[in-house]
Structure 1
Amino acid sequence: MSNQDTARTTDTIIRDGARGPYSTVIRVGDIVYLSGQGGFLPDGERAIGGIIAETHATLDNVSELLGRAGASLSDLTQVTCYLVDIEELVDFNSAWDEYFGDSPRPTRTTIAAAALPFGLRLEMTCTAHVRADTPHGGASI
């Protein structure tokens, strides 16, 4: 394994304005790790419209960040989802299906959470596997 394979490249852009002792994205070789992502719009405001709107905004954020690391939603291997109200699982799954449909889906764990930061109803952490021949993408991370 070369030094290039194990080099860590990080992106600490945090769209919700929060500052914390973590990185938003870390790519180590062909694995990309995303810290918790929520339903924030590009202007930093939380998506309004319930769990479906938050799911769309969250997956859009995940997609954008994966793209910056040279990956896409189809490269996701594992997603952990935290829902404040597990009764919203059916609507969450409906919005999820719009992004993944019948294509190979990542493994997923869904956990009921008592509360999430910033009033979010949903948060996702993700891991993706990028083909070895894929560069880090057009934008620097």
Structure 2
Amino acid sequence: MNEKKVISTTAAPTAIGPYSQAVQVGEMLYISGQIPLVPDTMAVCGDDIEQQAQQAFTNLAAIAKAAGANLNDSVKINISVTDLSMFDTVNQVMASFLEPPFPARACVEVAALPKGVKIEIEAVVWVKP
């Protein structure tokens, strides 16, 4: 039987609420939404979408690595942005972190995100046995 295992790492920001960085069940890793916080300082990384997207993906990658996986093993990524005009830039940043075949994905515009950031990204990652 598969058990629920909490995954955490100091290479990604600590949770800013009552949730885990990630939870693994069997070969599936569910990574909580990552905003562009610098792990060491918990400060928002930059003000432009490119910097913020890079930091959010870096945080996701660190959590995947802590579970023995990497972002190329992602099966689903959900992205929330505060303005869909940032869509092309987010796509470029995502393509720099992942190789084809790309995972399933959603990208939606939201009214606001924690700490006033422009992007939040969550992922479901396959942890290969």
Larger Rg over CA atoms: 1
Residue 10 (structure 1) shift: 0.5
Query: For the structure 1 residues 10 and 16, does the alpha-carbon distance in structure 2 shift closer, same or farther, using more than 3 Å as the test?
Result: closer
Residue 124 (structure 1) shift: 0.9
Q: Distance in 2 between matches of 1:104 and 1:87?
A: 25
Which consecutive residues of structure 1, in runs of 5 or more, have no partner in the other structure?
Answer: 133-141
CA RMSD across the alignment: 1.6
2:121 is aligned to 124
Q: Distance in 2 between matches of 1:118 and 1:33?
A: 22
Q: Distance in 2 between matches of 1:94 and 1:17?
A: 27
Which contiguous aligned blocks of 4+ residues in structure 1 show a shift greater than 2 angstroms?
11-14
1:139 is aligned to none
1:107 is aligned to 104
The answer to whether the 8 Å contact 1:16/1:45 transfers is no
The answer to whether the 8 Å contact 1:12/1:22 transfers is no
TM-score by length of 1: 0.82
Percent of counterpart pairs with the same letter? 25
Q: In the TM superposition, what whole-angstrom CA distance separates every residue of 1:47-66 from its partner, at most 9, and x where no partner exists?
A: 10411001110111000000
Which consecutive residues of structure 2, in runs of 5 or more, have no partner in the other structure?
Answer: none
Q: Secondary structure at the match of 2:122?
A: strand
Q: In the TM superposition, what whole-angstrom CA distance separates every residue of 1:58-80 from its partner, at most 9, and x where no partner exists?
A: 11100000011111011100000
AA at the equivalent of 2:96: E
AA at the equivalent of 2:106: T
Q: Secondary structure at the match of 2:112?
A: coil
